[in-house]
């Protein structure tokens, strides 16, 4: 008979592995535009993203609370539920990375917890309060990201209408370093918290803590794991987002990063878990559409959107299947 501490240890390792994958596959979200515009080299951009992701992860727990106790009812699930969700996330995210598609670990986490929770305890496991925030997050990442990117780049056109192209490039070459830092920080403040919440949920289910909370050592451990993952982020996804979808100049990159970071940071303060991948992608689309609709390579954008749409059902189904299997074997 396998002892409960072993299950807890393995599930915690899976959560950390999913956090690593989150940093690994989501690192390009924070730095794709600053690399594609050649404002920073990939090495310097990764250092920037790693550092600011780490710092952002430590800035709050509102999103962690939504994930840890607002998506599924803790009293109706078990450690096998959490472990099943993590396996689904790791499998799907790694598969999509191989194809160069930027997936949303946020959507994967939420759908994985829902699918595994449903397999364990039925519909009563799902909590409307948390899912309402998830739906608000979809609106933030889709419409606020696109419209903000579009609006900021139009404001730049108007504000610098009398400037030469050289002046514009020089100015936003400097400003984009700040916007990339803001984007990396906001990414950590939202995405980093999600797995802190899951890690604490596993500790609660394993009987280590009497009630759900996020201890400092959990924050530091998850932030460190995300930072390590970020430090080896994938060039495949940088090419897809920053080079293939829209041809970007530094002012485009500044507009996209500022718009996305603003939307993400606003969501983080209200405990709204949203997809940072989704948000920066729609911001880039909004920036590209400000030039003309044909400036966006909609075929590439369509592949990205397809990956978003597949994440919910695939991760939910995989987590459901794994939870059914594990519960049948180990319960």
Q: What is the pTM of this model?
A: 0.86
3-class secondary-structure state, position 60: coil
**∠ CA 22-190-23 to the nearest 5 degrees?**
20
Q: What is the pLDDT along the chain (331 residues), one digit of tens a residue?
A: 455 788 899 999 999 999 998 877 766 667 777 777 778 887 788 788 888 888 888 888 999 999 999 999 999 999 999 999 999 999 988 887 777 666 778 889 999 999 999 999 998 999 988 889 998 988 888 889 889 999 999 999 899 989 998 899 899 988 999 998 999 899 888 988 899 999 999 999 999 999 999 999 999 999 888 878 877 765 556 655 555 555 678 888 899 899 999 999 999 989 999 888 788 888 888 887 776 655 555 565 566 667 667 888 999 999 999 999 998 888 6
- The structural domain count of the chain equals 1
**∠ CA 206-109-73 to the nearest 5 degrees?**
50
Structure tokens at 24: 């690994």
CA 84 to each of CA 77, 141, 221, 327: distance values in angstroms, whole numbers, following the listed order? 11, 27, 21, 10
Is residue 92 within 8 A of residue 298, CB to CB? The reply is no
Rg (CA), the chain: 20
- Domain residues for 322? 4-330
If you ran DSSP here, which 8-state letter would residue 126 be given?
B
Backbone φ, ψ for residue 126 (5° rounding)? -80, 135
Per DSSP, helices labelled H in the chain are 4-36, 42-57, 62-70, 79-98, 105-121, 128-139, 145-159, 165-187, 193-205, 216-231, 235-238, 250-269, 276-291, 298-330
Can you say whether the dihedral through the CA atoms of 283, 284, 285, 286 is positive or negative?
Answer: positive
């Amino acid at each position: 008979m396998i002892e409960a501490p072993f299950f807890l240890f393995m599930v915690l390792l899976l959560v950390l592995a999913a956090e690593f994958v989150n940093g690994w596959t989501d690192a390009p979200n924070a730095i794709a535009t600053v690399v594609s515009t050649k404002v920073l080299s990939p090495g310097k951009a990764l250092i920037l993203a790693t550092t600011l992701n780490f710092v952002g992860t430590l800035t709050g727990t509102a999103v962690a609370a939504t994930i840890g106790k607002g998506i599924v009812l803790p009293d109706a699930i078990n450690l096998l539920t959490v472990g099943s969700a993590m396996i689904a996330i790791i499998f799907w995210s790694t598969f999509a990375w191989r194809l160069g598609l930027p997936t949303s670990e946020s959507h994967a986490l939420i759908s994985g917890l829902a699918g595994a929770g449903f397999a364990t305890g039925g519909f009563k496991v799902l909590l409307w309060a948390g899912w309402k925030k998830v739906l608000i997050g979809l609106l933030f990442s889709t419409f606020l990201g696109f419209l903000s990117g579009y609006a900021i780049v139009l404001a730049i056109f108007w504000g610098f209408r009398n400037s030469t192209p050289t002046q514009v490039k020089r100015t936003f070459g400097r400003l984009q370093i700040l916007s990339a830092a803001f984007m990396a920080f906001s990414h950590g403040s939202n995405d980093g918290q999600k797995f802190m919440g899951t890690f604490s949920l596993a500790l609660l289910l394993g009987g280590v803590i009497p009630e759900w909370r996020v201890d400092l050592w959990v924050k530091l451990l998850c932030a460190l794991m995300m930072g390590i993952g970020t430090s080896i982020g994938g060039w495949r996804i940088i090419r897809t987002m920053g080079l293939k979808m829209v041809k970007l100049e530094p002012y485009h990159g500044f507009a996209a990063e500022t718009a996305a970071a603003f939307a993400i940071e606003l969501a983080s303060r209200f405990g709204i878990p949203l997809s940072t991948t989704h948000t920066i992608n729609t911001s880039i689309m909004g920036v590209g559409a400000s030039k003309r609709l044909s400036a966006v390579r909609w075929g590439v954008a369509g592949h990205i959107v397809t990956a978003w749409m597949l994440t919910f059902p695939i991760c939910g189904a995989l987590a459901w299947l794994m939870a059914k299997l594990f519960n049948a074997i180990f319960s």
